Amino acid sequence: MEAWQQSLAASLSAPAAIAARFGLDAVATASVASRYPLRLTTHLLELIETADDPLGRQFLPHEHELAADGLAEDPLAEQQLAPLPAIVHRYPSRVLLLAGNDCAAYCRFCTRKRRVGCAAFALPFGELLKGLDYIAATPAIREVILSGGDPLLLPDAALAELLERLRRIPHVGVLRIATRTLSVLPERITPALATLLGRHAPLFLTTHFNHPRELTPAADEACARLAAAGVPLANQTVLLRGVNDDEVTLVELCEGLLLRRVRPYCLHQLDPVRGTGHFRVPLERGLELTAALRRTVSGLAVPHYIVDLPGGRGKLALTPQSVVSLGETAVLRSAVGELVELPNR
C-alpha cells in the first residue's frame, strides 16, 4: 500500500466521532451520513477549525442536506445523457468518463450527491472498459474528461492502463482529469503520478480549490510537482454561501492560484441539486463579484462565471447580456437563444 493510500485509510468517517470532534448534533449527523457519504482526510482534519469555518461548511454534514427543498437530484439530466454507466455524453465532441465513484472527501454541495460514494453506483473497471469501447466507436469525440468520483483515487497501474487505452483511440486528442485531491489529499500527487500524467500530453488537470486556506504548503508542493512534469493546471471554484461569496476571499484565492501556476478557469454557480440550497448565492451577487475581480486582479486571474443550465442544456458564461431577469427564479438566455429558468434564492 502506497503512502497516500495509507493516509486515505486513516481518514475519519464515523459519524459519532465527527459529531463529537466538531460539536455537531449526533442524531442529525448520523441521519445525513446514512444518506450521503462522509469522510474527512487527516489533511482536512488539520485544516477544519470549526463547523462554521470555510472548510467545515464544505465538508461537515448539515441537516439541511435532508430538507425537502423541491430541488432535483439530477438537475443536469446526466442520467438521461448516460448511454452507459461510466459515460455522460452531453456535447457532441467531448464526453465525461466517470472513472470511479469514490472521493477522498465528500463535498456537501456535490452535483452528484445522488450517486458519488454510494455502493449502488459503484463502477467496476469492466464498466470503464465498456466506456472506452463507446468512445472508440464514436469518432465525433475528440476530448475525454475523466471525472467521477475522483479519478486520482485509482491506483497508478489502473490509471496508466486507462490513459494508455485512451491514447490508442485515434480521434481522441485532449484528455482532462478533474480532481479534488490537491486540496484534500495532496500526498496523492507523488513524483510517479506526476511523471505518469506528464507522459500523456495533451493532458490538462482541473483542480478544485474554493478558499485560500486550501492553498496549503502540501498543496503548493503538489501543484509544483505537476507543473514541473508539464501538466497544465486550471482551477474550478464553486461559489458558496459563507465560504467564498465575498470579494476579499475570491481575490486572495485567484491571485494565490496564479502564483502557484494554476489558472483560475471557472467560477461555477452552484448546481440546483437537492440538499444543497443552503449554499446558494444569488446570481446578482456572483455578477457583482466577477465585476469586482475584473477591477482588482490581473486578467489571467479572472475566472469565467459559469452556470450549468438545467436539463442538460450545457454551460453558459454569465454576463449581463445572458441574464433576462433575476428574482426568486432567474431567467437566462442560453447560447442558442433559449430562455431557461433556474432557482436563484
Q: Which helix (H) or strand (E) holds 183?
A: helix 181-184
Identified catalytic residue from 74, 150, 245, 308: 308
Selecting among 21, 91, 167, 313, the annotated active-site residue is 91
* Residue 265 bears catalytic tag: no
Please give the span between the terminal C-alpha atoms of the chain, in angstroms, as a whole number.
Answer: 46
Catalytic residue (choose from 39, 108, 112, 113): 112
Q: Is 305 among the residues known to form the active site?
A: no
Residues 288 and 171: their CA atoms lie apart, in Å, by 41
Contact 74, 123 (CB under 8 A): no
Please state the φ and ψ torsions of residue 6, each to the nearest 5 degrees.
-65, -40
Decide if 107 is catalytic.
yes
295 is an active site residue? no
- What is the residue-wise DSSP string for 144-155? EEEESS-GGGS-
Catalytic residue among 39, 102, 107, 176: 107
Amino acid at 281: V
Q: Is 142 a catalytic residue?
A: no
Q: Which residue in the list 223, 271, 280, 305 is annotated as catalytic?
A: 271
Q: Which of 106, 110, 245, 254 is catalytic?
A: 110
Asked whether 283 and 318 are in contact (CB, 8 A), the reply is yes
| 94 a catalytic residue | yes
Reading across the β-sheet that carries 203-207, which strands appear in turn?
A: 87-91, 94-98, 143-147, 174-178, 203-207, 233-238, 262-268, 304-309, 314-317
Q: Which of 94, 313, 333, 345 is catalytic?
A: 94
Active site residue 103: yes
**Active-site residue (options: 57, 103, 188, 266):** 103
Catalytic residue among 39, 57, 90, 115: 90
Answer yes or no: 90 catalytic. Answer: yes
Collect all residues with Cβ–Cβ distance below 8 Å to 333 and sequence separation of at least 6: 321, 322, 323, 324, 339, 340
Q: Identify whether 254 is a catalytic site residue.
A: no
Measured from the Cβ of residue 230, the count of other Cβ atoms closer than 10 Å reads: 14
The residues annotated with a catalytic role in the active site are 90-91, 94, 103, 107, 110, 112, 271, 308, 315
